[in-house]
Amino acid sequence: MSAPSTSCRINVFWHDGMLNHDTGKGVFDTGMNPGFLEVLEKHPENSDRIRNIVSILSKGPISSYISWHSGSPATIHQLLSFHSQEYVDMLIEADKNGGNKEICCGTFLNPGSFNAALLAAGTTLSAMKYILDGYGELVYALVRPPGHHAQPTQADGYCFFNNAGLAVQLALDSGCKKVLVLDIDVHYGNGTAEGFYRSDKVLTVSLHMNHGSWGPSHPQNGTVDELGEGEGFGYNLNVPLPNGSGDKGYGYAMREVVIPAVEKFEPDMMVLVIGQDSSA
């Protein structure tokens, strides 16, 4: 059997240095040891999860369609296209002091975490550049730590740098006039939305559980009335779904809400943020 044609291949960007982000053990994502458990749980965002995805893509039924590419760390200058200097400096200082710091609830910067976060951001930028340079039309940035909760000035929800937000900004800086972000996850893609909340050049769409805010690091509610501000009013579309929504619920929301909005926006580039947390 001949190999699939180039047009059928999925270009996957990956770097195994991202496995060096150790999120620790405890009770779920707290990192706490109450002293009376026989076995502490791994943090839900752990390296085993991504190792299995790499294995599936390498050995599974679509392995012959995959082209592998290596990522590289983001530079500080690149990070500042989305994040504030003060926030980046805080993470740099925490890393210099040896890590072992809970940046916000459930989000731990341990030795190796900062370099892994740089690789996640840079690998995503490498994937975007691959498309912008005309080498392909479909790429998958397989990265951790994740990014879509990270806001311009703070970490949130296991995320340090907003990988998708950085890629969107690179697309805009490279000449794309309009970029779509479609975020499918149990949780609201609040960081990406916050980064472009006042822009009419980016349509941010998020399908998520109707969970509301979860504290100071995640003040956004993800409700339908969070529509953007200023020039960005009407360019943030939240689609909160009832708990327990399955394939039919997602399909209905896509057909009735998302697709018409995307067709009206007519983006030059689409960035998909695909969470695995609702997948069996």
What percent of the chain is predicted at pLDDT more than 90? 91
Are 82 and 205 contained in the same domain? no
- Alpha carbon of residue 256 to chain centroid: 25
At residue 176, the pLDDT reads 98
140 belongs to a structural domain? yes
pTM for this predicted structure: 0.95
Tell me: pLDDT of 276 over 90: no
Q: State the CATH number of the domain containing residue 29.
A: 3.40.800.20
Mean pLDDT of 68-89: 98
Pick the catalytic residue from 15, 43, 148, 149: 149
Single out the residue in 158, 175, 192 at which a domain terminates: 175
Are 39 and 72 contained in the same domain? yes
Q: How many domains does the chain have?
A: 2
Q: Determine whether 148 is an active site residue.
A: no
At residue 3, the pLDDT reads 57
What percent of the chain is predicted at pLDDT more than 70? 97
Are 112 and 55 contained in the same domain? yes
For residue range 241-261, list pLDDT tens digits in order. Answer: 998 888 999 999 999 999 999
For residue range 10-19, list pLDDT tens digits in order. Answer: 999 999 999 9
Print the domain residue range for 123. 7-175
pLDDT-derived band of residue 49, with 50, 70 and 90 as boundaries?
very high
Are 190 and 168 contained in the same domain? no
81 belongs to a structural domain? yes
34 belongs to a structural domain? yes
At residue 124, the pLDDT reads 98
Mean pLDDT of 92-103: 95
Are 237 and 266 contained in the same domain? yes
At residue 278, the pLDDT reads 80
2 belongs to a structural domain? no
Tell me: pLDDT of 279 over 80: no
Single out the residue in 137, 156, 175 at which a domain terminates: 175
- Alpha carbon of residue 171 to chain centroid: 16
pLDDT-derived band of residue 2, with 50, 70 and 90 as boundaries?
low
Are 236 and 171 contained in the same domain? no
For residue range 191-220, list pLDDT tens digits in order. Answer: 999 999 999 999 999 999 988 898 899 999
Please say whether the beta carbons of 151 and 166 come within 8 A.
no
At residue 5, the pLDDT reads 60
At residue 1, the pLDDT reads 47
Tell me if the bond preceding 44 is cis, omega within 30° of 0.
no
At residue 144, the pLDDT reads 97
Are 248 and 153 contained in the same domain? no
Average pLDDT, the chain: 95
Single out the residue in 133, 149, 175 at which a domain terminates: 175
Give the separation between CA 145 and CA 163, rounded to whole angstroms: 9
60 belongs to a structural domain? yes
65 belongs to a structural domain? yes
At residue 6, the pLDDT reads 61
Are 38 and 148 contained in the same domain? yes
Are 181 and 160 contained in the same domain? no
Are 63 and 84 contained in the same domain? yes
Are 93 and 118 contained in the same domain? yes
1 belongs to a structural domain? no
Are 15 and 154 contained in the same domain? yes
49 belongs to a structural domain? yes
